[in-house]
Amino acid sequence: MSTSHQPTRSGSASSYNSASLGSSNADGSLLGQASKWLNKGSVGDMLGRMTTTQKVVGGALLAVGVSALLRGNKSKASKASGAGSDAQVDTLNELLYFVNDRIEGYQRAVEESQDPQNTGYYKQLVSQSQQFANELNGFLRQQGGSRQDSTTVKGKFYRAWMDTKAAITGADEKAILGSNIYGEEWAIKAYEDALSDNTLRGPVRQAVERQYQHSKQTYNRLKGMEGKQE
């Protein structure tokens, strides 16, 4: 079973002000919302004005935002100091968090979709994502790393939010498809980040580039499916 990606934290979350949260690109929409709430006034005044729901959601947003910020800083520092196989291990580990998110996202779509054609396609994407993960984990073991089956905190939070939304409003094909498109955008960004830091070499890079192209093809097909629903 997958576990969420939890970075080692140093210091308290209070050391991060709204400016540092708002300026991070690691988790734009979530950090932006958290930053807006922080900028409304002092923490005490803000809590006094917030409903219970806002407090719960706001706390979750801040937790996800700080986790993403810490994870991003830790990853950048590690890659800056690493070289050769160590740098490739870091990059593969980071990418696998998002590939594992992709697996869980499409598994969720298979469970919720009532459209036989859509369900069949989502099952193909689960299988494809599992193949991607196995391939990357194979390279990871070759580089001396351990198998990575974890998912991101962001992905875990998003799926929990979607489950809550579905429980209240019900799951429909359009919402499921929209969630898949959003998840594929995350995957594409993760592949672009992995390829742009120039740590991957030879067969590893070729495999990541191939997976990246498949992810873009999937995104285009999902967008096409969305267009037919409108």
Residues 53 and 89 in one domain: no
Give the residue numbers spanning the domain of 97: 84-230
Maximum pairwise Cα distance, the chain: 56
Domain count of the chain? Answer: 2
Any domain includes 21: yes
| pLDDT tens digits, 61-92 | 444 444 444 444 444 444 443 445 789 999 99
Neighbours of 30 (CB within 10 A): 22
Neighbours of 199 (CB within 10 A): 22
Say which CATH number the domain at 190 has: 1.20.1260.10
Q: Are 139 and 189 in contact (CB under 8 A)?
A: no
Question: Can you tell me the distance from the alpha carbon of 179 to that of 118, in angstroms, rounded to the nearest whole number?
Answer: 13
Question: Can you tell me the distance from the alpha carbon of 36 to that of 19, in angstroms, rounded to the nearest whole number?
Answer: 10
3-class SS at 91?
Answer: helix
pLDDT (mean) for 9-22: 34
> 41-45, 47-51, 61-65, 134-138: which has the minimum mean pLDDT?
41-45
Full-prediction pTM beyond 0.85? Answer: no
Question: Can you tell me the distance from the alpha carbon of 24 to that of 4, in angstroms, rounded to the nearest whole number?
Answer: 21
Which pLDDT score is estimated for 11?
Answer: 37
Residues 164 and 225 in one domain: yes
